Structure 1
Amino acid sequence: MKDLMIRNLYHLEETIAADLFEGKDYPWEVLPEIGSFILKLGPTLPKDEYDQVGEDVWIAKSANVFPSAYVHGPAIIGKDAEVRHCAFIRGNAIVGEGAVVGNSTELKNVVLFNKVQVPHYNYVGDSVLGYKAHMGAGSITSNVKADKMLVKVHAGTENIETGLKKFGAMLGDHVEVGCNAVLNPGTVIGRETNVYPTSMVRGFVPARSIFKNTGEVMRKKTV
């Protein structure tokens, strides 16, 4: 389904990880390769712009990482990013330029494009968040099904096999997720879509929509 393809969700010029997506159709295809990509890219980063701190962790000199934050490699923290108090980065994480990882937020196996904000008590695992995507306070990705079966993406009448046991959410550029929303395994949200607070989202939500509840999705009005 073309609406779920990388080219229709993301502007790849807004991530240091553009090469990770090369040759792939769907964004979840990058999930098993994030860690190895970081290990390859990290040593090539300009030493006048990035410091290697600890094992397999590269942090831009212009980034602001609070002393209480924990960053486990492999990880790259981009230029002008902010990693705030008690953030927990568990590894296999790329934090884009100007992104915000907030207090008590946990990341694991993720790509955050530039200017992404996950600023308050978020869990983001096995996910890709596009340029300027924002998750409200307490909103999370649920990345494993209760029955532990492989994740499928439900898109209309189609069920797309991913072959993945762990798959959180793919958020397109400029997606806004309201406070305390839960994005269930296999969620894909198109560009410029808004998700209401406390929503429970599953499957594909089209671009430029407003998601209120399951079965209640409105197209945005064009001005």
Structure 2
Amino acid sequence: MLSVIVLAAGQGTRMVSNTPKILHPVAGKPIVHHVLDVALALTEEVVVVVSPQLDALAVTGGRPAKVARQHHPRGTGDAVRAGLEQLQCDDGNVLILCGDVPLVQEAELQALFQQHQQHHKDSISVLGMRLTDPGHYGRIVAEGKRLISIVEFKEATPEIRAINLCNTGIILTSLATLKKLLPELSCQNAAQEYYLTDIMALGQSHGIESYVVEAANSTLFHGINNRAQLAQAEQQYQQMLRHKMMLSGVTLLDPDTVYFAHDTVVGRDTTIYPNVFFGEGVAVGENVTIYPNCHLVKTLLGNDTKVGPFAHLRDHTILEDKAEVGNFVEVKKSRLGTGAKAKHLTYLGDAVVGTKANIGAGVITCNYDGVAKHQTTIGAGAFIGSNSALVAPISIGDEALIGAGSVITKDVPGQALGIAREKQKIILNWVKSRFYK
């Protein structure tokens, strides 16, 4: 049986934010949710330890994880104690993760499990990382794979600080070991906290050995404490997503300028031009072209669709196969049928656009009356002339035609012409009489 305790009770004061550190997003998903998703992929028994003021639902995001409270900030050892109180199991292993390390990967943890199984079931395994700039991370003192101690930076001598093997904060051991050693922790140190890392030294007095497992990719375990580190994590996560996309058959013409969300799905043979931003909830079909400077959120794109340049698709937009949305078009909560086109300077909100309908330049659906939103329905094969306003609720029938510059306030039947503009008037010699008297 495996249980996971995620430590997420840090105050995060260096973020200088009203938002708790663990709720800041990386690729559109809160930091702690990245960690919880990895934990829940390993086991159903997950506890996240947080400070008392945090909202439990915000912390879990609806995930099936228990929430424990560390009522006083007395260190990682005390936080693990709080987490143990929420565990239902009586034995097995406990994996301890840090809630501010969003890039942690399941594969690295599986490697930790495999090496841990080579030792006694009550031993302690620590995931270590070698860093060129160890900074303020705790240092691992080891002889080969045998771990002697972990020394927190505040307690370290210059000789210890010269060590570049650092503690990731990820520990795997048995529940029995934790129950035996945690009560023996002392807060007689520079921070006056109960350091979880002291259990290694305590374990030696009980004949419990500790081992270090070096991470294959140390860059995945950097904790986030400030906005600069948050930006670094975002950049690294984006690089991972971009690489994954390109290996799956997606062409990125300038990868560094394309930003994905954690849940973006893109089909093969799709081409994405520079400066495209994907928010959450976007799924893109195959052979799609997304031109430069587009912003997509909560959008589904069918196969062979085209978007942009400078298009904004948001809030439950659906483009069916071969639909096209072009320059400076905004679409919100609308569905464009197969082969439908809105190529220029258009706003479509709360609209259903039929198959092969054509929306001219400057067309807007007037979906909001100041109190409520209303729907516009445009039939298959309809043609909406340029610079027209469709005042919802309204329905334009199949193959109907709306004259350019019209303000349409009543339904238009199929194959009918709808036009609503003042008849053109020409006054001869008006300019001469007005300006050249």
Cα pair 2:266 2:284 within 8 Å, conserved: no
Q: What are the equivalent positions in structure 2 for 1:189-200 lying under 5 Å apart?
A: 189-200=396-407
Cα pair 2:318 2:334 within 8 Å, conserved: yes
Partner of 1:186: 393
1:46 shift after superposition: 10
Given candidates 279, 284, 289, the residue that maps to 1:64 is 289
Q: 1:55 to 1:87 in 2, by over 3 A?
A: same
Query: Match of 2:345, as an amino acid?
Result: Y
Given candidates 346, 370, 374, the residue that maps to 1:167 is 374
Partner of 1:20: none
Q: Deviations over 1:87-122 (max 9, x none)?
A: 001220001111110111000000111111110000
Cα pair 1:124 1:168 within 8 Å, conserved: no
Cα pair 2:279 2:295 within 8 Å, conserved: no
Q: CA RMSD in A?
A: 2.3
The alignment partner of 1:188 has SS state of strand
Q: What are the equivalent positions in structure 2 for 1:75-154 lying under 5 Å apart?
A: 75-146=299-370, 148=371
Moved more, 59-68 or 178-187: 59-68
Q: 1:124 to 1:109 in 2, by over 3 A?
A: same
1:60 shift after superposition: 1.4
Cα pair 2:279 2:296 within 8 Å, conserved: no
How many residues were matched structurally? 152
Q: Which has the higher contact order (CA 8 A, sep 6+)?
A: 1
Once residues 342 and 393 of structure 2 are traced to their aligned partners in structure 1, the CA distance between those partners, rounded to angstroms, is 19
Q: Extract structure 1 runs of 4+ deviating beyond 3 A.
A: 45-50
More helix by share: 2
Partner of 1:210: 417
Partner of 1:155: none
Cα pair 1:144 1:168 within 8 Å, conserved: no
Partner of 1:55: 280
Query: Match of 2:390, as an amino acid?
Result: L
Percent identical among aligned pairs is 28
Once residues 141 and 67 of structure 1 are traced to their aligned partners in structure 2, the CA distance between those partners, rounded to angstroms, is 25
1:86 shift after superposition: 0.8
1:202 shift after superposition: 1.3
Q: 1:47 to 1:83 in 2, by over 3 A?
A: closer
Normalised to the residue count of structure 2, the TM-score between the two structures is: 0.33
1:201 equivalent to 2:390? Answer no
Query: Match of 1:55, as an amino acid?
Result: E
Normalised to the residue count of structure 1, the TM-score between the two structures is: 0.63
Once residues 328 and 266 of structure 2 are traced to their aligned partners in structure 1, the CA distance between those partners, rounded to angstroms, is 30
Cα pair 1:49 1:60 within 8 Å, conserved: no
Query: Match of 1:135, as an amino acid?
Result: I
1:47 shift after superposition: 6.3
Structure 1 gaps, min length 5:
1-42, 149-164, 215-223
Compare CA radii of gyration and give the structure with the larger one: 2
Q: 1:102 to 1:48 in 2, by over 3 A?
A: closer
Query: Match of 1:97, as an amino acid?
Result: D
Once residues 349 and 342 of structure 2 are traced to their aligned partners in structure 1, the CA distance between those partners, rounded to angstroms, is 12
Q: Deviations over 1:65-105 (max 9, x none)?
A: 113111011x1111111101110012200011111101110
Cα pair 1:135 1:176 within 8 Å, conserved: yes
Cα pair 1:66 1:84 within 8 Å, conserved: yes
Q: 1:135 to 1:47 in 2, by over 3 A?
A: closer
Query: Match of 1:58, as an amino acid?
Result: A
Query: Match of 1:129, as an amino acid?
Result: V
